[in-house]
Amino acid sequence: MNAPGMPALPAGLGAEVVGAAERVGSELRARVRLGDGRDAVLAWLAPELAREPAMRRRYVRDVARLRELDAPGVAPVLAAGPDDPKAPGAPPPWRLRLDPRGEALEEWLRRRAPAPVDEVVELAIALCELLAGLHARGVVIRDLHPRLCVRGDDGLWLTDVGLARVDILSTRTASSLLLEGSPYAAPEQLARTALDPRADLYAVGVIVYRGLTGLLPRGEGPAFLGEASPAPPRALRAEVPPELDALVMRCLSLEPGARPASARELAAALAGDGPAGASAARTICQHCGARLRLGQRLCLACGRVGVQFEHTPAGTCSVDLRAAKEDAAFFASLAGELQTLAEGEVPALNLVIGDARMYSKAELERRHALPLRLFTDLSHETAERLRARLAAAKLQVAVVDRSPRATRRLAARTFGWTGGITGAIVALTLALGAPAFVPIVFGSLGLVIALIVFLAASAAQKKQRPTLLRLRAAPAALPASDPLVARLAGLLTPETPAEVREIVGELALAVQRLVDHRAAAPGARAELDMIAGSLTPLVELIARQVERLRGIDADLAKLDEGALVRALAGSEARREPPERREELLLGLDRLLEAEHLLRRAVELGLEVRDDAAEHERRVAQALHELAAG
**Reduced to 3 states, what is the DSSP secondary structure of residue 342?**
strand
Strand ranges of the sheet holding 103-104, from the earlier edge strand across to the other edge: 103-104, 149-152, 155-158
- Domains of the chain and any CATH numbers: 11-98 (3.30.200.20), 103-270 (1.10.510.10), 308-472 (no CATH), 479-618 (no CATH)
CB 93 within 8 A of CB 56: yes
What pLDDT score was predicted for residue 224?
60
64-111 pLDDT, tens per residue?
888 888 788 899 888 888 877 666 677 888 899 999 999 999 999 999
Report the distance separating Cα 121 and Cα 251, nearest Å. Answer: 14
Q: What are the pLDDT digits (tens) for 395-439? A: 999 998 877 666 666 566 666 667 677 777 767 776 777 676 666
Asked if residue 36 has pLDDT above 60, the reply is yes
pLDDT digits (tens, 9 = 90+) for 267-299: 988 887 755 333 334 567 777 777 776 666 677
Residue 398 CA to residue 386 CA, distance in Å, equals 10
Predicted TM-score (pTM) of this structure: 0.71
CB 94, CB 80: distance < 8 Å: yes
Q: Cα(40)–Cα(137) distance, rounded to whole angstroms?
A: 24
> CA–CA separation, 323 vs 352, rounded Å?
10
Give percent of the chain with pLDDT exceeding 90: 16
Q: Give the three-state DSSP class for 190.
A: helix
Provide the pLDDT for residue 364: 84
Whole-number Å distance between alpha carbons of 246 and 473: 15
Residues 197, 144 contacting (CB under 8 angstroms): no
Q: Which one, of 236, 241, 394, 254, lies nearest residue 330 by Cα?
A: 394
Rounded CA gap, 629 and 623, in Å? Answer: 10
Pair 78, 97: CB distance under 8 Å: yes
Residue of 70, 69, 50 lying closest to 60 (CA atoms) = 50
- Between CA 380 and CA 499 the distance in angstroms is 41
Average pLDDT over residues 550-577: 58
